[in-house]
Amino acid sequence: MKFKIISECKHTGARTGKIYTDHGVLETPFFMPVGTYGSVKTQTSEEIKDLPSKILLSNTYHLFLRPGMDIMTKAKGLHNFMNWDGAILTDSGGYQIYSLEGHRTIDSDGVTFKSHYDGSMHRFTPEKIIDIQRIIGSDLMMVLDVCPSGKLNLKDWKEAVQLTTNWAYKSYERYNKTEPKYGHKQSIIPIIQGGTNKELRIQSAKELLDLDLENYAIGGLAVGEPKEAMLKTTEWMNDIIPLEKSRYLMGVGTPVDLIECIRRGVDMFDCVIPTRNARNSQLFTDKGKINIRNAQYKDDYSIIDTNSTSVLSQKYTKAYLHHLFRMNEILGLRISTAHNLHFYINLMKTVKLKIEDGTFNSWSAKFVDIYNKGRND
C-alpha cells in the first residue's frame, strides 16, 4: 500500500500523510478502533464508519479459532462478514501467543499452542499466518512475530529479533507466491522488535528494511516497560526508519501517549484503552478522564460532554449515564464506548489540522500539560 507524506511539522517528527488502499485512502496519523473478533464491542459497523473511521483492526489468532476459516471462506472474507466497506488491518496473533505462556512452544519454524477456548492444539507458521489473512481478506496484514515482555533480558530480546526477522522473510516469500482472494489488494507489514535496547532495535530495523516495503510496525512496546523507555525507543525508530515509510506503533495507548508518539514520527495506532475503559465507566474528555460511576455524578444533570461529536454524549446527562452503569444496563456501555471512540478519532483530526497549519508543536505541548494536570477521577 503506497504511503505519501503530505505535510511535516518543522519542530517535531510529526507529519500527515496518506495510505492508499482499495477500501479507501487512509489519512495519517490515525487511530484504529479494535474489533478483535470482527466487531468493535457494543458498536455496529455503521457506527464505526460514522465516527468517522476508515479503518479498524481485527485479530488473526482469534478469527482463526472462532468463527474459523471455513466460515470466513463461506462469508467471502471479513469485510462481507461484518458488513464493513472500509479498510481492515489484522494483527498476526503474535501478542496473543506471547500471552499464552505455559500453553505454547516456540521453535525456529513457528509456534504450537493450546486454544484458550477449548484446549485444542494448533500450529502457526509464518506461511500459515499469510494464508489465513488471505482468507480473512484484510487490507494490511501483519507478519507473525515474537513479542517478548518489556521486562525480559537481553538474551530473550535477541532471540525474538532473530526469529521475527526470519519469519518476516518467510512471510514475504509466501505473500509473493499467493494472491488475494476477493479482488482487492493486500499488503504485509513487518514488525521491528528489540525491546528497549537501541542496538537490537537498529539491527531489527535494518534487517527488515531490506524488504523495502511501504509500511513498518514498531512492536514489543506497551508490554510492561517504563513509559520513558517506550518514548525513547520510539524516538530511535523515528531516526532509523526512513521518512518515506509509514510507522505503526502497536498497542499504544492513552491520549497523551498518542500525542507524544506522533511528535516522534508515528503515523498509525491501535489500542483497546478507549473501548475497554469505556466499559469500566471511564470517559475521556478535553480536560482529562472522569469515572461516571463516582457519586458526584448521581445528581449531575449536565450533558455528558458538550464538546463531543457523539450524538449520544450530546443527548444524555451524566446522571443518566451514572444510573445506567449502576444498574449494569448495556446502553451505558454503548454510550460510553461511542463517546471514547469519538474522542480518539477527533483527537487525530485535530492533530492533522495542527500539523498542517504549523501549530502542532505548541498545541501538543499544551495538550499534554493540560491533560496531565486535568481531571482524573
Give me the catalytic one of 91, 139, 267, 305. Answer: 91
Q: Could you give the CA distance from residue 195 to residue 357 in angstroms, rounded to a whole number?
A: 35
C-alpha separations of 247 from 58, 241, 310, 370 in Å: 18, 8, 29, 27
**Residue 91 bears catalytic tag:** yes
Neighbours of 359 (CB within 10 A): 13
Catalytic residue chosen out of the listed positions 139, 267, 270, 305? 270
DSSP code string of 345-372: HHHHHHHHHHHHTT-HHHHHHHHHHHHH
DSSP letter string over 291-304?
ETTSGGGTT--SBS
d(CA 134, CA 92) in angstroms, rounded, equals 12
Q: Could you give the maximum distance between any two Cα atoms of the chain, in Å?
A: 63
The set of cell numbers assigned to 16 is 500527515
Query: How are the residues of the chain apportioned to helix, strand and coil, as percentages rounded to the nearest 5?
Result: 40, 20, 35
Q: How far is CA 356 from the centre of its chain?
A: 24
Which of the residues are catalytic? 91, 270
